[in-house]
Copies of this chain bind each other. A is one copy, B any other.
Amino acid sequence: MFDGDQGLLYYNASKMYLFGQSMQLKKYTDYGLRILMYLASFEADENCAEPKLATIREICDTFGLSANHVNKVVHHLGRLELIETRRGKNGGFLLAKKPEDISLAFVIRQLEGDEKWIECENPYCVALPACELKGIVARGKELFYDYLSQYSLKSLMVKAPQLRQIFSTAS
């Protein structure tokens, strides 16, 4: 009998055909958000006359990530003008905007990419001319982003001190 469990296609007691991860944000996107949170948490610090620059190495040490992947995300964030990057010795990067001006919807849409959540044309689906589904899903996607647009990087800073402590103690 079907037990309603998720992620389980075949029920055959011993041998279970396990299912994938459903739709999910890319790590790439989450890494970008972590970087922004990292920067914001320290900026929210007391009197920062000199906002210390963060470096890729720092991020990687803190979160245990691959330097190269982070490298790309940082570069991307820089091109989006969400952070300012500085090359050369003592370089690094810092927020280019105030946290309240960095919309989560924008960040996620940009880092994740903005493709349709359902692909109808490659390969071509014969139902396309009379299909209501694609429109429904597309509107659902937009609702998701509309919801996200209520939040900003500042919304992620409600526990800024705790975050700052975690970040500074994590190896």
Asked if A112 is at the interface (CB within 8 A of a chain B CB), the reply is yes
Q: Which residues of B contact A121 (CB under 8 A)?
A: none
Question: What number of copies of this chain does the assembly contain?
Answer: 2
Q: Which residues of B contact A104 (CB under 8 A)?
A: 133, 136
Number of A positions contacting B (CB below 8 A): 64
Q: Closest Cβ of chain B: how far from A63's Cβ, in Å?
A: 6
Asked if A57 is at the interface (CB within 8 A of a chain B CB), the reply is no
In residues 126-141 of chain A, which contact B (Cβ within 8 Å)?
Answer: 126-127, 129-133, 136-137, 139-141
List 17 A-B pairs, Cβ < 8 Å.
A2-B79, A7-B115, A22-B117, A25-B117, A25-B137, A30-B125, A37-B127, A37-B133, A63-B125, A104-B136, A127-B167, A130-B162, A132-B155, A136-B155, A139-B147, A140-B148, A143-B143
